[in-house]
Homo-oligomer: A and B are copies of this chain.
Amino acid sequence: MISTRGRYALRVMIDLAEHTDEGPIPLKEIAERQGVSKKYLEIIVKELVGGGLVEGASGRGGGYRLCRRPEDYSVGEILELTEGSMAAVACLEKGAETCPRAGECRTLPMWAEYDRLVRDFFRSKTLAELIRTE
């Protein structure tokens, strides 16, 4: 299940993309528009800054802005950054030691197939596809 962390992150990115021509957007504005706690968004946006997806500017007239064009972000990278692993099962997690049963495991191939399916789905979706264009 995708948690609020990843979902809010995505909504922040969409909000930034839709207001990209207004200069830096204060988090307060985003929080109000999205109806979400600003304090909680701080934590999430911090990860986006750390991952190099957005950049922040302090002081009056400051706020956040995207580093790239919306079509150059995949939904996958936003979710992977904010949700952590995104692996389907623990055995497939990055850095997980190989399970001793891996060779005879009846389910591992299916989990791997599922993992690819999910990964490909989100990597092929771009931020640009989600914003309102009208």
Choose from B2, B14, B89, B130 the contact partner of A2 (Cβ within 8 Å): B89
Q: Give Cα distance in the complex from A122 to B117, angstroms.
A: 12
Q: Give Cα distance in the complex from A106 to B1, angstroms.
A: 18
Q: Is A110 in contact with chain B by the CB < 8 A criterion? A: yes
- Asked whether A11 lies within 8 Å of B117 as measured between CB atoms, the reply is no
The quantity of this chain's copies bound in the complex is 2
Q: Give Cα distance in the complex from A7 to B87, angstroms.
A: 14
- Asked whether B1 lies within 8 Å of A89 as measured between CB atoms, the reply is yes
Q: Give Cα distance in the complex from A122 to B110, angstroms.
A: 9
Choose from B14, B35, B110, B118 the contact partner of A125 (Cβ within 8 Å): B110
Nearest neighbor of A89 in chain B, beta-carbon distance: B2
Q: Give Cα distance in the complex from A35 to B101, angstroms.
A: 10
Nearest neighbor of A109 in chain B, beta-carbon distance: B130
- Asked whether B11 lies within 8 Å of A106 as measured between CB atoms, the reply is yes
Q: Is A107 in contact with chain B by the CB < 8 A criterion? A: yes
Interface residues of A in 9-47 (CB under 8 A from B): 10-11, 14, 35
Q: Is A131 in contact with chain B by the CB < 8 A criterion? A: yes
Q: Give Cα distance in the complex from A115 to B60, angstroms.
A: 42
